Amino acid sequence: MTINDQIRSHALSLGFSNCGFARAEPLESLRSFYETFLAERDFSGMNYLERFTEQRLHPELLLPGVQSVIAVLMNYYPEERLPEENNFILSKYAYGRGYQKVMKERLAKLVTWLDTTSHESRSLAYADSGPVLEKLWAQRSGLGWQGKHTILINETDGSFFFIGIILTTLILEPDNPARDRCGNCTRCLDACPTNALHTPYRLDINRCLTFHTNTNKGEIPDAVKGKFRDRIFGCDVCQDACPFNRAPKPTREPVFRILPGLSDLRKPQWKSLSEEEFNRIFEHSEIKHTGYKTIKRNMGLAGGE
């Protein structure tokens, strides 16, 4: 068994759904696109994107001596869907426990195993944090391509995944990069309720429902008001429209099962939810980071009181 096979096998044993490998190298070819993106201020106040540009383009600045990138995916598609009738809608990734803690714990175990097994290697892990371009490295590792909705799509398993990235000094055989298979399809672009995908492969964050329901605690643009469609945390519309998500495989991870008490909520219960009840139900959820006041505001914009 090769070292790649051993790593992949161990990653799957930790609950990751897919694992691939890429050669760590500078990403200078992306500089013009990235700097144009920042200059146009499409990130709507997400100022962390301005920081650490050089580290994003040069992984050796994060880990001197880096040779390879290991990319992993973790499926979060729920076994059971929350009812949408007379209900507010949550993005499916928020049904269970907070993914960042889960991903970081699993990645830390994989890094410990890597550095213990290889002795002289050094590795660093990232999961939706730190200056790494997760989707690009996942694509270079053969795990999928960045679709027209800007989300990573795996050809056989769709797009309902979290991405983890490990930089390592180990020299690993790279996989073949995944190629774009979107073709002429525009279903995700056509489905977006706010026209946030008016340009393929480019997300207008200022129009994105996920940004406004999860992160924006200020004024909601007129272009977005009235288009929440009962959504109070996240969206998923573009992913649900994607043909590669026709029959997604449910996750086998119990941590992503529906939180206790969440299945019982309908619009009347949501509207009467106290802050104490909110904190109890969402204590270990990504939703708690958004906060009670913002979720209540979202209810009003989505058709609640």
Which distant-in-sequence residues (6+ apart) come within 8 Å of 58 by Cβ?
Answer: 26, 27
Q: How far apart are CA 139 and CA 104, in angstroms?
A: 21
Do residues 178 and 262 lie in contact, with contact meaning Cβ atoms separated by under 8 Å? no
182, 147 in Cβ contact below 8 A?
yes
What number of other Cβ atoms are within 10 A of residue 99's Cβ?
20
Report how far Cα 180 is from the mean position of its chain's Cα atoms.
19
User: What are the beta bridge partners of residue 21?
Assistant: 70
Which of 128, 204, 230, 240 is an active site residue? 128
Q: Token match 């619009």: residue?
A: 267
**Annotation marks residue 240 as catalytic:** no
- Is residue 99 within 8 Å of 93, Cβ to Cβ? yes
Among all residues, which ones are annotated catalytic?
Answer: 128
